[in-house]
Structure 1
């Protein structure tokens, strides 16, 4: 039964609750998503969403094919729903590789960078790593800012109550301004300049994504 075989009791327990979904940790084959969906459906929980955890070397390496299951058509798509989100589990991944964790985090940058485009191509929400330094709010803010720069929509957090404060206050767009912003205006006729830097269509698209995530004025 693959990874799911370790969690059949959990699946049965979830099916008796009003939980919205489940997490499938460390998937390395598409069949594991199929098996989990089958178990949920068999217990009348076919509306449950599934979040995948890319936490092993194989899971990170095959991120695109794993997250595209159910999203690209074919037999799998006809049988299961796709993942709604995926998180990168760098602690387990670096242990799998035999590496060492550092405060700088350069050893897990590749894993974090690989999961984002895989999730985007599969139309799956990407969730960033957990920061294990639970008493270091500054470390969380720095990590959240780097994750945002990479393209992550949110960060995973420890279940410790104190993480609610830095999680809710991690970097986010300011309220949308009412007048047009300089970036789109500068490039309406092609390349433009804003604060001494060239602006073209790609910067407009990045600005629109950022503004789209901000609350209304």
Structure 2
């Protein structure tokens, strides 16, 4: 699958799948996530890295719907370079680069990829990565999106709690989505570690959506449907968007720069926001 900008694709949910767990690899597609992230890094013990790489490559060779991404090990490890070359050859749509902090890291991955049509997502997980977002570069035109990893960020920052809704971690969460928006990249929100607490996940996903993220990283299949629902425009939002977009189109034909729709002011920025709602609904199959 040759990808355009990730922001132009539907990626409401991105489910991590441990590469060393064959049962989870085989069942991953059943979760109906918009993207699968086959994980070769944190979810795999050092003694199982080679096995995980082989199993992920086999999974990539099989047909599956949605985006097929792989979180490789960092290139500063003994497995990173082999990961990149292997999953690119196996047909991964994109590589998620962990603990991304510098443009040089993206450049090194691009050099390993050669001509393989594989895109990149930078996983921002450290204070240095957040501070250097403006200097990250575009990975030779391959960078599609930014994702925030709050657990590693909290650890690296010496924080006492693994929470992304307070303090420094919340600030970093905002900075990542802001950087993505400033550069026209997609933004994937951090995981929620409360895998057994549906309401906690729902609240965290709503917060991420309202911050401006395009979708959410998931660590359990049960989180996928919730993320898909929250990141899909509600029916009433679609009706409102259609009303505004249609009224704005007529206003443009009439030479008007500002109108009112149901008592609310609508100008070009407001109409553009509602047009984006309609486009997202179209990608979700809600409108033709």
TM-score (norm 1): 0.78
Match of 2:13 in 1: none
Q: Is 1:90 the equivalent of 2:150?
A: yes
1:121 Cα deviation from its structure 2 partner: 2.4
1:88 Cα deviation from its structure 2 partner: 0.7
Structure 1 runs, 4 residues or longer, greater than 6 Å off: none
Q: Is 1:190 the equivalent of 2:261?
A: no
Match of 1:69 in 2: 138
Match of 2:111 in 1: 38
1:171 Cα deviation from its structure 2 partner: 4.0
Which one of the candidate residues 115, 121, 125 is aligned to 1:55?
125
Q: Is 1:145 the equivalent of 2:206?
A: yes
Match of 1:177 in 2: 239
1:12 Cα deviation from its structure 2 partner: 3.3
Match of 1:213 in 2: 280
**Contact 1:64–1:119 (CA<8 Å) still a contact in 2?**
no
1:172 Cα deviation from its structure 2 partner: 1.9
Q: Mark the CA change 1:154 to 1:179 in structure 2 (over 3 Å): closer, same or farther.
A: closer
Which one of the candidate residues 214, 217, 225 is aligned to 1:165?
225
Match of 1:5 in 2: 76
Q: Mark the CA change 1:174 to 1:5 in structure 2 (over 3 Å): closer, same or farther.
A: same
Q: Mark the CA change 1:120 to 1:82 in structure 2 (over 3 Å): closer, same or farther.
A: farther
Matches of 1:183 and 1:47 in 2, distance apart? 36
- Render the CA deviation track for 1:148-172: whole Å, top value 9, x for unaligned: 11111111111x3322332332242
Which ranges in structure 2 are unaligned for 5 or more consecutive residues?
1-73
Which ranges in structure 1 are unaligned for 5 or more consecutive residues?
71-79
Match of 2:15 in 1: none
Match of 2:45 in 1: none
- Render the CA deviation track for 1:54-99: whole Å, top value 9, x for unaligned: 1110111111221x434xxxxxxxxx23311220111111211111
1:103 Cα deviation from its structure 2 partner: 5.7
Across the aligned residues of Structure 1 and Structure 2, the Cα RMSD in angstroms comes to 2.8
